[in-house]
């Protein structure tokens, strides 16, 4: 189902971009994916930009906070996992060797969130929904369709996420190494692969994939809009054609044109 009214616990439910230039980021992504947006004031002269496709929320972006800039954290997309209790998950994460970067707190009446880092240093967030359930559209062109962990240490990261979210895993041999498929109650929740030497000094991180109609055309458009190609279009047999891009402010994201079955 692509239209969502509720996200099951343990499944990714939201994506949020922290950027150094909010207006420029809005122009880039709306032009690239055909998104519309809605700005809401959040105090201190700042706004929170809700990103939409066909009138449904698919994610959001906002200006990086002063603390983030001082710590030289680059612009980034942050994925959120739906949970029943952010506080209980925070306790599990501490027990599992992860770090709490932001303790659980209420986002007005929208929900309760927290930000964490896994034992291999990848950052992610959780969302305990109240009035805001998360993305209203997924797995459709122009929306998030996959979340993938690129990690320096799968032996630490894999058991950690299984313990925290109750995921199971399935190893899938690939030319570049083993790909781990995480599942939650038989549903595919996310993927994981080890960072290869060819990726250089890339840190552990969660990569967000957006669905597109044509990978090559989207890459060409991203370049015209000032984006950079970090990994040129390539085929994944029986899955689709994908590429990894960087927006003009420096945030990484991936796109994929899924293989259509007759």
pLDDT tens for residues 168-212?
999 988 777 789 999 999 999 999 999 988 888 889 999 999 999
- As for how many domains the chain has, the answer is 2
Residue 260, pLDDT score = 63
Q: Which of 33-42, 70-79, 222-231, 242-251 bottoms out in mean pLDDT, i.e. has the lowest?
A: 70-79
Q: Which domain holds residue 121?
A: 12-129
pLDDT tens for residues 81-100?
999 999 999 999 999 999 99
Average pLDDT of every residue of the chain: 94
Residue 1, pLDDT score = 43
Residue 135 inside a domain? The answer is: no
Residues 122 and 152 in one domain: no
- In the DSSP assignment, the letter for residue 199 is G
* Angle between helices 215-224 and 22-33 in degrees, nearest 10: 150
Percent of the chain with pLDDT over 90: 84
Residue 262, pLDDT score = 36
Residue 7 inside a domain? The answer is: no
Residues 66 and 113 in one domain: yes
- Say if residue 35's pLDDT is above 70: yes
SS3 call for 155 = helix
């Amino acid at each position: 189902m692509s239209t969502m009214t509720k996200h099951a616990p343990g499944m990714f439910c939201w994506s949020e971009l922290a950027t150094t230039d909010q207006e420029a980021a809005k122009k880039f992504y709306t032009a690239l994916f055909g998104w519309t947006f809605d700005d809401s004031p959040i105090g201190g002269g700042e706004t929170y930009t809700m990103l939409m496709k066909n009138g449904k929320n698919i994610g959001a972006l906002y200006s990086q906070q002063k603390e983030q800039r001082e710590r030289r954290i680059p612009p980034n997309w942050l994925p959120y996992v739906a949970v029943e209790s952010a506080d209980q998950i925070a306790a599990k994460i501490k027990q599992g060797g992860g770090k709490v970067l932001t303790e659980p707190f209420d986002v007005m009446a929208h929900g309760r969130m927290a930000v964490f880092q896994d034992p291999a240093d990848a950052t992610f967030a959780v969302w305990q929904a109240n009035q805001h359930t998360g993305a209203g559209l997924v797995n459709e062109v122009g929306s998030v369709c996959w979340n993938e962990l690129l990690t320096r240490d799968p032996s630490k990261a894999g058991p950690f996420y299984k313990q925290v979210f109750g995921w199971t895993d399935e190893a899938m041999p690939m030319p570049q190494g083993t790909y781990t498929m995480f599942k939650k109650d038989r549903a595919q929740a996310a993927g994981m692969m080890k960072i290869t030497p060819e990726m250089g000094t890339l840190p552990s991180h969660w990569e967000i994939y957006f669905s597109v109609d044509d990978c090559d055309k989207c890459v060409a458009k991203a370049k015209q809009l000032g984006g950079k190609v970090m990994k040129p279009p390539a085929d994944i047999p029986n899955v689709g054609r994908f590429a990894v891009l960087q927006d003009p402010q420096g945030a990484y994201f991936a796109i994929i044109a899924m293989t259509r079955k007759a």
